[in-house]
Amino acid sequence: AEDGYDLWLRYHTLPAAQVDAYRAHATQLIAPSSSPTQQVTRQELQRGLDGLLGRTTPLADAVTSDGAIVVGTAASSPLIARLRLDTKNLGHDGYLIRSTKVDGHAVTIVVGNDDVGALYGAFRVLRLVQTMQPLDHVDVREAPKLQLRVLDHWDNLNGHVERGYAGNSLWNWQKLPDWLDPRYTDYARANASIGINGTVLNNVNAQAAILTPLYLEKVKALAGVLRPYGIRVYLSVKFSAPIEIGGLKTADPLDPQVQRWWREKADEIYQLVPDFGGFLVKANSEGQPGPQDYHRTHADGANMLADALAPHGGVVMWRAFVYSQDNTDDRAKQAYTEFKPLDGKFRANVLLQVKNGPIDFQPREPFNPLFGAMPKTPLMMEFQVTKEYLGFATHLVYLGPLFEEVLAADTMAQGKGSTVAKVIDGQLDHHALTGIAGVANIGADRDWSGSDFNQANWYAFGRLAWNPVASSRDIANDWARMTFTNDEAFVKPVVDMMMLSREAVVDYMTPLGLHHLMGHGHHYGPEPWDASGPRADWTPVYYHRADHDGIGFDRSSTGSNAVAQYAPAVAAQFNDASRTPDAFLLWFHHLPWTYRMPSGQSLWDALVQHYTRGVDDVAQMRATWARLDGHIDAQRYRKAATFLAVQQNEAQWWRDASIVYFQSLNGLPLPAGYQPPA
């Protein structure tokens, strides 16, 4: 059934007109199978080629015909060893795919330095076939630009997924470790196909119980399923675990007993999971315990855990998402304020995991000022793949352009071209340890992500983790072909629709740099009027600051001066309303409703126009989809059509609610041509 379960690994037979050409390039499959990774590589190629080509590809030990596919490493394949290829710059995970001759026959070779590189290469070959790229003269050489490419699951041990919109957790803790749901293997396949090599199994709002022997046995079982696919397991840990499950009186990171407890815990974990990745930590944020409870710094806390993991090769991913309960300063400033002074104070196996923007995964935020500001610390990007603030499961929002925009943003930390991508890939400050994390949108729903189009966000995250300067449009193009069809008449409009969708959601929810206007708690619909949150910085009025005269958060030098956290050239630009891009105008400035935009319009008129454009764009997306009925299966077509109808209604709801509310403050008429809400 076309229920989306296959994701982009949908190996349906190519159209009859093309299939022969591809069969000629897969007459034999020569792939070793002595290690678990080699076995799954071979299995995937068989499964993929058999499906795509509609016939069985024969396995062989030697090349005896043109069109063989030869896979492996110099160590696993004597055939490949003989070719003496230059694979030095491929690293552990890279691969080479090339058309060449072996024993007088034309073949395609797929080569890595390590088994996992060959596995990634195999997935790439399948992608070439699946997207119908020519196989006559292939010459692909790829290595990932980031070392740790990790999904963060915000999954609780009771099966609930925090900010998850795709059903319950995939991990069935109750049935583990004995029952290994085959779905875990499909999860691993999907991740390996896009180069993801790490998974944090549990929520950053962690439960100490995950570190008890009972759960560690389950973790070990999951690690065993993921290992052949090159995926390491990590755990979120609760800083107070030594108290909660260790019977200690304190979790003070400078207490020798606490240090010993963590060292022994790390030893215990590595006994069970020798390739365990390490710990992810949310500390002293939103009520979580942390080193500051003992008047110690984040560095004291991170280093203690790092010391426990270091003998085993593990890392600490310490989160920079902090803001205190009693914050009187601008919330957007707190991460920088707390962490910038700690640059240079962390152990070598600590990465600081920084959310893309300074607030919290909004439809649009400027880049987090920590990027570029901590040259002595490896900074890891944290994106959110699950759409907490972007319409949950039903709104069609392709996040590729959001990720791309952040990665391409110029921090100017070392002059022009100091992009966020170059900060996190280690180029700018010469870090060898690099990484990126995405908060997963994966659950137990048949379609994994709550909608078929949300799968594209998982896919795009993986592809950009591999190559942070890749084009989100190219990625969407691959995804649409693999997930649905190669039919140009479908692919082109769908990719255009996906590329439009991110700007649409910004426009109908929070245009011109507005942010956090969602109802507090659930973060779904519009509640710009809400002033009742349990804390000021959880309520929309804190962020938009609208009144009779104007709107926006003054973060310039006349306000919170958050702009000063950026490099001087960027700070100067953001400090000046006339030089601030429209997209961030009300993020950095509080302006009168009558403020003249570069377009000549008043701010109020421009705001109404953006809101309206957002609704119009969704209408256009829906119309596009309506024209595509019949190009794909009815089941997935109808689901997306229904969700687009929901989205259109709710875009209208966002627009109307926002405009009516702001109008109730400023009393201004709607600009000509904009109908008041019915």
Minimum distance from residue 534 beta carbon to ligand GCU (Å): 13
Residue 334 CB-density burial (10 A; 0-12 exposed, 13-18 middle, 19+ buried): buried
**Residue 613 C-beta: closest distance to ligand GCU, Å:** 28
52 counts as binding ligand GCU under rule CB under 6 A: no
Q: Which of 356, 368, 352 is nearest to 299 (CA)?
A: 352
CB crowding 377-405: b at 16 or more within 10 Å, else e? bbbbbbbbbbbbbbbbbbbbbbbbbbbbb
Q: Are 256 and 264 in contact (CB under 8 A)?
A: no
405 is catalytic: no
User: Which of 163/515 has CB closer to ligand GCU?
Assistant: 163
Q: Which residues contact 540 (CB under 8 A, 6 or more apart)?
A: 516, 517, 518, 520, 527, 528, 529, 530, 531
Closer CB to ligand GCU, residue 10 or residue 520?
520
- In angstroms, the CA 129 to CA 470 distance is 20
Least distance CB 544 / ligand GCU (angstroms)? 18
Q: Are 141 and 96 in contact (CB under 8 A)?
A: yes
CB of 517 to ligand GCU, least distance (A): 15
Quick note: the x/- pattern for ligand GCU over 165-204, rule CB under 6 A, is ---------------------------------------x
Q: Does 388 participate in catalysis according to the annotation?
A: yes
Min separation Cβ 162 and ligand GCU, Å? 5
Using CB under 6 A as the binding rule, the residues of this chain from 496 to 555 that contact ligand GCU are: none
Q: Does 365 bind ligand GCU (CB under 6 A)?
A: no
Q: CB 330 → ligand GCU: shortest distance, Å?
A: 16
CA gyration radius, the chain: 26
Q: Does 282 bind ligand GCU (CB under 6 A)?
A: yes
Closer residue to ligand GCU in complex, CB, 244/286? 286
Classify residue 86 as exposed, middle or buried by CB count within 10 Å of its CB (0-12, 13-18, 19+): exposed
On the CB side of 465, CA atoms within 13 Å amount to: 32
Q: Which of 252, 338, 360, 447 is catalytic?
A: 360
The two three-digit tokens of residue 214, written as one number: 């009972």
Query: Cβ closer to ligand GCU: 163 or 610?
Result: 163
What does the alpha-carbon distance between residue 59 and residue 35 come to, in Å, rounded to a whole number?
A: 17
Instruction: With beta carbons less than 8 A apart as the criterion, state whether 254 and 300 touch.
Output: yes
Reading the block at residue 424, the tokens are 């996190």
Q: How far is the CB of 388 from ligand GCU (least distance, A)?
A: 6
Size of the site for ligand GCU (CB under 6 A): 9
Shortest CA distance to 278 belongs to which of 244, 308, 243, 242? 308
Closest to ligand GCU by CB, 205 or 427:
205
Binding to ligand GCU (CB under 6 A) within 200-219 occurs at 204-205
- Catalytic entry in 155, 252, 382, 388: 388
**Cα separation values, 164 from 386, 392, 663, Å:** 7, 8, 34
CB nearer ligand GCU, residue 22 or residue 392: 392
Rounded to a whole number of angstroms, the minimum distance from the CB of residue 216 to ligand GCU is 24
Residue 573 Cα distances to 152, 405, 553, 580, 591, angstroms: 34, 18, 16, 6, 16
Q: Which of 25, 127, 163, 555 binds ligand GCU (CB under 6 A)?
A: 163
C-alpha closest to that of 383 among 323, 449, 437, 442: 437
The number of helix segments (H) and strand segments (E) in the chain equals 20, 15
Closer of 388 and 410 to ligand GCU (Cβ): 388
Q: Candidates 2, 50, 66, 162: give the one binding ligand GCU (CB under 6 A).
A: 162
Identify whether 365 is a catalytic site residue. no
> Is 153 an interacting residue with respect to ligand GCU (CB under 6 A)?
no
Of the two residues 203 and 472, which places its CB atom closer to ligand GCU in the complex?
203
Give the shortest CB-331-to-ligand GCU separation in angstroms: 11
Residue by residue, what is the 3-state secondary structure of 552-604? CCCCCCCCCCHHHHCCHHHHHHHHCHHHCCHHHHHHHCCEECCCECCCCCEHH
Closest CA to 513 of 614, 588, 450: 588
Catalytic residue among 50, 255, 286, 656: 286
Q: Per rule CB under 6 A, is residue 321 in the interface with ligand GCU?
A: yes
**Chosen residue from 93, 330, 360, 503 binding ligand GCU by CB under 6 A:** 360
Burial class for 270, CB neighbours closer than 10 Å (0-12, 13-18, 19+): middle
Pick 5 or 524: Cβ nearer ligand GCU: 524
Distances (CA, A) of 319 to 98, 301, 351, 517: 41, 11, 8, 24
Give catalytic residue positions.
286, 360, 388
Residues that bind ligand GCU (CB under 6 A): 162-163, 204-205, 282, 286, 321, 360, 388
